[in-house]
Amino acid sequence: MENKLRIKLEDSVSRNRAEGMLFSGGLDTSILAALCPEVRAINVSLEDFSTDLEYARAVEEALGLKVHYLSVTTEEALAALPEIIKILKSFDPAVPNDVTVYFGLKYAKKLGLNSMMTGDGSDELLGGYDFMRNRGDLEDYIRYLSRKMFFSSNLLGDFFQLAIKQPYIDKEFADFAVNEVPVKSKICEHNGRVWGKCVLRKAFEGVLADEIIWQSKRPLEFGSGTTRLREIISGKISDKEYAGKQKKYPVKFINKEHLYFYEIYMDVVGRIPLPQPGQEACPGCGAGMKKAACHCRVCGWVKI
């Protein structure tokens, strides 16, 4: 199974070549870099808060990769939030993830690149998220996700007029991952720990060092350091203000950052779109959602 996956991914990368790559140093983008080491990689981090840099530099040295390292200040990140929220038309709590993508694509445009590769979709299709390990219905859940996946990199790519290439969600590779790779190959035990994306890791053992192949999953905002933004934003809103605005606004806020993003949204986007024929109201914000949807693209509400 590992050999077949490797061949399928090699073919997908060949079909989805790009001039540049959003490169974190995580498993997914490190493998893509190994398959196209001539690519110009862009690594974005928030000042000195990134945990990804050591991995990125290790892969850079091992592959002879050309990496552009971009350090973004917290002030720059906060200042970019209104534009990011306006582009995405969303105040999803996951906005800090999009900060890294936004600055990476913006820098790619500055470099004169026309296309960028991303590692989108690997976690969804190959069982990369920690919560997936305990789902008894994981096969059905992954199949469901494969039909619902949406990535903000596409909207941000459109904004910067960059073609976004996503080898992991290329139809042929995605169909293979969903229909032919069994759950037991996606979730496995290795050295006393349970891991996701086992089949992907094993397929590229020997191509990259073990510390890269068997690194833990780090959410993008943690790896890049943008989780620091949450602490800063949360500190801007007092408990009293948060409690008052929870009552004032017709939105179910998850936390203070969610409120902060919502107020930016109201300023740069405006009203939340009401349900249209064939849609139902989001339980979190009232926005229109397809009846079969499990995620609201406006507020980030997720069906449990």
Query: Each residue of 279-289: pLDDT tens digit?
Result: 999 999 999 99
- Contacts of residue 115, defined as CB under 8 A and 6 or more positions apart, other chains included, come to 17, 18, 19, 20, 162, 163, 164, 165
H or E element that contains 57: helix 53-63
- pLDDT for residue 165: 98
10 Å Cβ neighbour count for 197?
Answer: 25
The single-letter code of the amino acid at 216 is S
3-state secondary structure of 245: helix
Mean pLDDT for the chain overall:
94
pLDDT in tens, 50-79: 667 889 999 999 999 999 999 999 999 999
Contact between residue 141 and residue 135 where contact means Cβ atoms under 8 Å apart: yes
Contact between residue 296 and residue 285 where contact means Cβ atoms under 8 Å apart: yes
CATH topology of domain 2-227: Rossmann fold (3.40.50)
* pLDDT band (50, 70, 90) for residue 296: very high
Tokens at residue 122, please?
């690997």
How far is Cα 7 from Cα 13, in angstroms, rounded to an integer?
Answer: 10
How far is Cα 52 from Cα 223, in angstroms, rounded to an integer?
Answer: 5
The pairs formed by 73-77 with CB atoms below 8 angstroms and a separation of 24 or more are: 73/46, 73/47, 74/46, 74/47, 74/228, 74/229, 74/232, 76/103, 77/46, 77/103, 77/226, 77/229
DSSP 8-state class, residue 289: E
How far is Cα 44 from Cα 91, in angstroms, rounded to an integer?
Answer: 22
pLDDT in tens, 211-244: 999 998 766 555 456 678 888 999 999 999 999 9
> How far is Cα of residue 190 from the mean position of the Cα atoms in its chain?
25
pLDDT in tens, 249-281: 999 999 999 999 999 999 999 999 999 999 999
- pLDDT for residue 75: 93
10 Å Cβ neighbour count for 7?
Answer: 12
Listed in order, the ranges of the chain carrying CATH 3.40.50.620 are 2-227
The angle subtended at Cα 102 by Cα 211 and Cα 127, nearest 5°, is 40
